Amino acid sequence: MYVYLLHLFPIYLVRETTSALEWFNALPRLFLLMALAVLWAALLSTSAVQRVFRPLVEPRLDWLRAVPAAAGLTVGTGRGAR
């Protein structure tokens, strides 16, 4: 999942700011691009990258299930509660 979500940003940056993609028009250079892509995917698969980007890719959602105590709400009260 990290490779899929994080590969886009550097590719977009290179594509928009340089003409590097025009350099890969020959077959040997295309193989170099494929090798770089495999290396980039391997780098994005490392545990160090997962540790750094985990809060962005897999945020904790405990706050979403928490019942706000300050509001004085209790579970099971309100409309439709039996």
Query: Half-sphere exposure of residue 48, counting CA atoms within 13 Å on the CB side?
Result: 2
Of 35, 36, 7, 33, the C-alpha closest to 22 is 33
Domain ranges of the chain: 2-61
Cβ–Cβ < 8 Å for 51, 44: no
Q: How distant is the alpha carbon of residue 52 from its chain centre? A: 11
Cα 39 to Cα 13: distance, rounded to the nearest angstrom: 18
pTM assigned to the model: 0.60
Cα 12 to Cα 26: distance, rounded to the nearest angstrom: 21
| Chain segment 24-75, per-residue pLDDT in tens | 788 888 898 889 889 999 998 999 999 998 988 888 888 777 766 655 556 5
